[in-house]
Structure 1
């Protein structure tokens, strides 16, 4: 498809896209928009950074404008997102696309006061973007009802299951009208995600712009073998010697995020941490400082980093490999977005080789491995102690069991 105008979007939406500098639809947009406009349910596999928000938002706005839904202060469209950051990002994007319309979009999520959200709902909203927990709270308090919803969109459904939202999703589905159009977007498709999708969708059109669990071709991926004890100094050296001005660094725990940020600050590198124990205000400030260039490095856990959308983010570093291989795909998808190139670097210690094997099996290709000069592994030193190795295996098994139980039984969400 050569232009957005050829996709038969409403004219106010075309005007907004022109204002935003959007010229040509991405592959997911070109495939999904006509299908959604035709009223079909959609099951879409799309990596982060491929333009999937616009893929569902643009036809949704067009259908809202052209369908002229009955007047109601209750939302006509509901978009579910796994994290506060992603909900906020999606709502902001939709507000931009709807700039030349009177359609109202609102994001509701936990970690902040409910009062402004309930006040906005009282005024009326057309599109509601929500995290499942806060949405159920508002429903239970009778501040919101879903009887007018005609469109349901699940964004990053795989992460919603990872966070243990299955029970909440099942409860929400019971409150939604059966006559609706459902759009289901996910970057990865383990069995739990497929089962959820087909329980919600009605003869969906399947759309995929990349192989399931594939990583974006625009991202250069490199592994550096090194001892755990050398990782912090290696990261500081890379940032300093490469004059990196914007790097997103992933760790596995909230404590590691804070500890690493503190160490990098001692090295003279402006940085901050981002994780679930921080208040929403602190998380928003850290993210704004990162986007605006006030800090060079943002040290984040997997959950907190969901929703980070920086079009030209050049660097992602896996300081520690994730216990769940699917998280690797999501992590590196923060770079190489919207057709831009990016680089993902992973530090791999010997006790992480099993995690690496899981990642390579998931993405169905080996990753190029190098040594970073000056930070090579010490082959004369003994391998990590047996007890440490056992602890790593136990943590890995625990993470896998947790992910499985969350998907199967809907254990309450974590706050990593």
Structure 2
């Protein structure tokens, strides 16, 4: 069956309950990766599939798995009737949740059960559902091994293994965990590996656990989506924040994901944007799962316009019609650029990807252009001062400080040494007249001041008297 002959999902031979769910989701025509992968997966072949992110990879593996498992589905409440038959591994919590949501949508007219488990939440909340039995388990590697150690699940009946975003798993150091998980699975199973990029490490991983896989590539490896317009601006590092604010105000009322390299810079940038009246939130590895889900929900609902994220969000985020992605900081890993800008231009929509490059980042951007085999047009980023927010920290008046290593004394006006000595002596030893005035005002030293004397004292030292009158005078009121 060739890709050209597939004009709708019904021609793929999928079960009627799945076709009904697909139709209710509004899909009619398979994407290229779905058209090629689904028929081969239905033939129980191992696949090594590569496609640009956002092209429908989740349906490409979940639909054939659901179709194959449907004859084994049971309505029984017994957990023994619902063993884990399919395991989907994802590198991040966000991607795992997205995959689970899609599987649940496609399986809603079937008795097949599914569940997602990931770290960052109490493991005890996941255990009760696992004990009731699920056929399809979506998991991050670390949390899956946690459940294995606590003996809350069994992988002895797994028939399907899916590695989603396999290259990202390697980037995040999951190889030891993957080896442990593979050792727990039956030897006889179908393996499906999906990745947006192919590297030598990925090919070695494929050789380790795939059996005579069929290679599918619907686009050149590491290619970027042609629906995404890519731009770059040369901006000094100390001007980036101001330029970004100007940029976001130019694209007012449009949603944008802004990528940074570190968790610290993501948090700082999000706070700065909020000060400039741009509704936003940060999402990174230090955020709790609850905080990350709340930020994503607010972003999807349009409550906030900007989401500042590290590369933890570069994969797995499926935002409908996201028009803009900004690389505020250029990643040192060229492959991350492909995944970052893959958040826009999804499912045939148009998108814009803008990169802000300072002098130190030019070499990293050159590596990106080499990877994607494309030159990205660059302009000098100019700051329009008339559009800068008055609340921006870069526009606040600054006090002049001595240069590092200088003594601030040298910045003072010249005074003759004699004058300085007299001034210091006057400050150190108040005159007896002043002491008498103070005593008169406070009623101390046995000095009883009449109203006339106090009035004369105030005229002699108006500033002191003014300050004293503003405070309680204690015993002076008794004189």
TM-score (norm 1): 0.88
The match for 1:14 is 19
| 1:133-282 mapped onto 2 (5 Å cutoff) | 133-282=142-291
Q: Does 1:76 align with 2:85?
A: yes
- 1:40 correspondence with 2:45: yes
User: What pairs with 1:351-362 in structure 2 (closer than 5 Å)?
Assistant: 351-362=360-371
Match of 1:123 among 89, 107, 132: 132
Aligned to 1:102: 111
Q: In 2, are the aligned partners of 1:78 and 1:129 still within 8 Å (CA)?
A: yes
Structure with larger RCO (C-alpha < 8 A, sep 6+) = 1
1:68 and 1:103, CA in 2 relative to 1: closer, same or farther beyond 3 A? closer
Partner of 2:347, secondary structure, is: coil
Q: Distance in 2 between matches of 1:117 and 1:350?
A: 48
Equivalent residue, structure 2, for 1:28: 33
The whole-number CA distance in structure 1 between the counterparts of 2:251 and 2:82 is 53
d(CA) in 2 for partners of 1:368, 1:66? 54
- 2:352 corresponds to 1:343: yes
SS at match of 1:101: coil
Contact 1:274 1:305 in 2 (8 A): no
Deviation of 1:207 after TM superposition, in Å, equals: 0.4
| Aligned 8 A contact 1:73 1:122 in 2 | no
Which segments of 5 or more consecutive residues in structure 1 lack a partner in the other structure?
377-416
Q: Partners in 2 of 1:278 and 1:60 — Cα distance?
A: 33
Give CA-to-partner distance per residue, 1:257-291, whole Å, 9 cap, x none. 01000111110111010000011000110111111
Alignment-derived partner of residue 398 in structure 1: none
Question: 1:226 touches 1:375 (CA, 8 Å); kept in 2?
Answer: no
Runs of 4+ more than 6 Å apart: none
| Comparing 225-234 and 259-268, the one that deviates more | 225-234
Q: Computing the radius of gyration over CA atoms, which structure comes out larger, 1 or 2? A: 2
Q: Distance in 1 between matches of 2:317 and 2:53?
A: 10
Q: Summarize the Cα distance change of 1:262–1:325 in structure 2 as closer, same or farther, 3 Å threshold.
A: same
- Which of 253-262 and 357-366 deviates more? 357-366
Conserved in 2, the CA contact under 8 Å of 1:246 and 1:313? yes
| Separation of aligned partners in 2, 1:322 and 1:153 | 28
Quote the residue 2:329 is aligned against: 320
**Equivalent residue number for residue 292 of structure 1:** 301
Deviation of the 1:71 alpha carbon? 5.7
SS of the residue corresponding to residue 338 of structure 1 reads helix
1:13 and 1:98 in contact (8 A); partners too = yes
- Mapped partners of 1:8, 1:105: distance in 2: 23
Q: CA deviation at 1:368?
A: 1.4
Quote the RMSD (CA, aligned, Å).
1.5
1:409 alignment partner in structure 2: none
Q: Is the 8 A contact 2:97 2:116 kept in 1?
A: yes
Report how far residue 68 of structure 1 moved: 5.6
Instruction: Say yes or no: does 1:4 pair with 2:9.
Output: yes
Provide, for residues 217-273 of structure 1, a one-character-per-residue CA deviation record: whole Å limited to 9, x for no partner.
111110111111111111111111221431000000001001000111110111010
Give the conservation status (yes or no) of the 8 Å contact 1:315–1:344. Answer: yes
Gaps of 5+ in 2: 1-5, 386-479
User: Is 1:371 matched up with 2:380?
Assistant: yes
Distance 1:370 1:63 in 2: 52
Q: TM-score, normalised by structure 2?
A: 0.77
User: 2 CA distance for matches of 1:372 and 1:100?
Assistant: 53
Query: Is the 8 Å Cα contact of residues 165 and 194 (structure 2) preserved in structure 1?
Result: yes
The SS at the match of 1:329 is helix
> For residue 67 of structure 2, what is the aligned residue in structure 1?
62
Partner of 2:407: none
Cα distance in 2 for partners of 1:195, 1:67 equals 34
Deviation (angstroms), 1:374: 3.2
